[in-house]
Amino acid sequence: MSETAKLILGGEEFEFPIIEGSENEKAIDISKLRGSTGYITIDPGFKNTGSCGSEITYLDGEKGILRYRGHSIESLADNADFLETSYLVIFGNLPSKAELTKFENDIRKHTMIDEEMKNIIDGFPKSAHPMGVLSSLTSALTAFNPKSLDINSEDQLYNAVCKMLGKFLVLASWVYKKHVGLPLNYYDNSKGYVENLLRLMFEIPTEEYKINPEIVNALDKLLILHVDHEQNCSTSTVRIVGSSHAGLFASISAGVSALWGPLHGGANQAVIEMLEAIKADGGDIDKFILKAKDKNDSFRLMGFGHRVYKNFDPRARIIKKAADDVLGALGIEDPVLDIAKKLEKVALEDEYFKSRNLYPNVDFYSGIIYRALGIPTDMFTVMFAIGRLPGWISQWKEMRLNGEPIGRPRQVYNGETDRPFVELDNR
Ligand code: SDX
């Protein structure tokens, strides 16, 4: 007899099955709870609630383990490239050389964007935050690609994946170019995906952009570290929007909006702004540590803490080393990096952070590398979105192919109970 969970409600005993994943994670299957007991559960922020079974990403917050389709993040960061890792999470296995070459070439077929999209981008003020523009343009792709996707057609699904990866990269670069008032670029099919990202963003008509392999490698590694992270806020958003059978572009657009928040992907921008503020304030680390601990102060140590990792975020460890390597290779002395290291050291020795298992997360060091690569602060979260796109696509695809039901949580009502209507003159 497999393990079950017993619940006693109103003197009656109810039994629910326990399910166990391939990494021995256990869950109580409450899919029949309301039908059999009339009760629901409540769990703000879903801290104890699983929304699905998934074969894409496994993470162990206690041990600081992160794997994409069973491959450790360390092994992928050391040996794979971003498109290879994207193929892995989306299709389930590392591609052969032929599959990878085909994938890269098929993405190249979809990097052109309807020129009328420029009318939309021109409607935004230069000052608009790039994430808001990117979310709008991603949703607008539906208008120019209205044909709905037959999820059961392997070819249509593969083409939609390549189209999403091709167009999103170019749109993200157009968002930047519009933001800085420079002409929009087009993908160069003679170059790689990450090389194109840099070219699309930084090449100007008056001179060729010189590709620096150190920068390409650093950016490629950063993007790999952001590819997926199981059911985080933005991925859960992509899944729940997609569960209504809204299209892939519309679902990804919603994910971009969720990622924008400073408690999620927006933290990489907030980290740099925090470090800059500490520097401008004279570098008094202890003052900001006290603010972060003060319950009456809304200030939080951005880039610290994580819903799942109660140990070091394995990505932060890799990025911290990459930050040293990139700044060393580029000969950059960034005082903000020194402040970050001091802040990390002080926080990790402080009882408040230790007792709450607050460690640096993926966002703590990534902004320092983006800045060294010449990427402006308000584009950091766009870089996160470019990295996370393959994860969003893979999770959306898994949800649809598994035929998951529309996401529709319940609630506990705490409002007014039944009351009579009062005529306007009598109120
Ligand atoms: C990402 O989910 C993912 O996987 C996300 C992500 C991904 O790849 O998709 O990993 C990317 O979003 C990383 C997180 C980036 N966000 C930040 O760096 C923002 C700063 N961090 C916090 O806002 C916070 O740690 C969260 C939002 C990340 C997690 O919040 P939780 O899990 O809801 O934790 P909590 O708010 O319940 O905090 C528990 C305690 C509280 O204190 P007490 O009430 O117990 O006294 O820890 C404190 C919090 O006040 N705390 C912090 C803190 N984070 C938590 N105190 C100071 N500074 C912080 N950063």
3-state helix vs strand vs coil in the chain, percent to 5: 55, 5, 40
Q: What does the DSSP 8-state code read for residue 373?
A: T
> SS3 for 360?
strand
Residue 61: its pLDDT value, please?
Answer: 92
**Is 228's C-beta closer than 6 angstroms to any atom of ligand 1?**
no
Mean confidence (pLDDT) of the chain: 95
Ligand 1 binding pocket includes 307 (Cβ within 6 Å)? yes
Q: Looking at residue 146, what is its pLDDT?
A: 87
Query: Minimal CA–CA distance to 90: which of 400, 393, 399, 401?
Result: 393
Residues in Cβ contact with 348 at an 8 Å cutoff, skipping those fewer than 6 apart: 354, 359
Confidence of residue 374 (pLDDT cuts 50, 70, 90): confident
Query: Residue 329: what pLDDT?
Result: 87
Span 387-408, average pLDDT: 98
Closest C-alpha to ligand 1, atom 8: 229
pLDDT over 90 percentage in the chain: 91
pTM for the structure as a whole:
0.95
Q: How far is CA 269 from CA 365, 372, 382, in A?
A: 11, 14, 10
Q: What average pLDDT score do residues 300-305 get?
A: 93
Mutate to test the pocket of ligand 1, among 67, 308, 361, 392 (most ligand atoms within 8 A of CB): 361
Measured distance CA(308)–CA(64) in Å, rounded: 9
306 flagged as catalytic: yes
Q: How far is the CA of 264 from the centre of ligand 1 (A)?
A: 9
Instruction: With CA atoms as reference, report the closest residue to 388 among 261, 272, 255.
Output: 255
Q: Residue 414, CB half-sphere, CA atoms under 13 Å: how many? A: 2
For residue 272, with 0-12 CB atoms within 10 Å meaning exposed, 13-18 middle and 19 or more buried, which class applies? buried
CB distance 191 to ligand 1 below 6 Å: no
The tokens for 233 are: 């806020």
Instruction: Using the predicted structure, report yes or no on whether residue 1 has a pLDDT greater than 80.
Output: no
**Looking at residue 148, what is its pLDDT?**
84
Ligand 1 pocket, residue 66 CB under 6 Å: no
Dihedrals φ, ψ of 360, to 5°? -60, 140
- Substitution candidate for ligand 1 out of 237, 358, 381 with most atoms within 8 A of CB: 358
Choice between 27 and 147, residue whose per-residue pLDDT is larger: 27
Mind listing the pLDDT tens digit for each residue in 256-285? Answer: 999 999 999 999 999 999 999 999 999 999
**What per-residue confidence (pLDDT) applies to 65?**
96
Among 283, 267, 299, residue whose Cα is nearest residue 346: 283
Supply the pLDDT for residue 260.
97
Which helix H or strand E contains 343, and what residues bound it?
Answer: helix 335-349
Ligand 1 atom at minimal distance to the Cα of residue 233: 2
Q: Is the CB of 263 under 6 A from ligand 1?
A: yes
Mean pLDDT of 163-183: 97
Confirm or reject: Cβ of 366 under 6 Å from ligand 1. no
Please indicate whether residue 358, judged by its CB atom, sits closer than 6 Å to ligand 1: yes
Integer Cα distance of 141 and 112 in angstroms: 12
Instruction: Pick the catalytic residue from 81, 228, 313, 363.
Output: 363
Residue range 81-128, pLDDT digits in tens: 999 999 999 999 999 999 999 999 999 999 999 999 999 999 999 999
pLDDT at 312: 87
Catalytic residue from among 110, 129, 229, 306: 306
Task: Express each pLDDT in 237-264 by its tens digit.
Answer: 999 999 999 999 999 999 999 999 999 9
Q: What is the pLDDT of residues 34-51, one digit of tens each?
A: 999 999 999 999 999 999
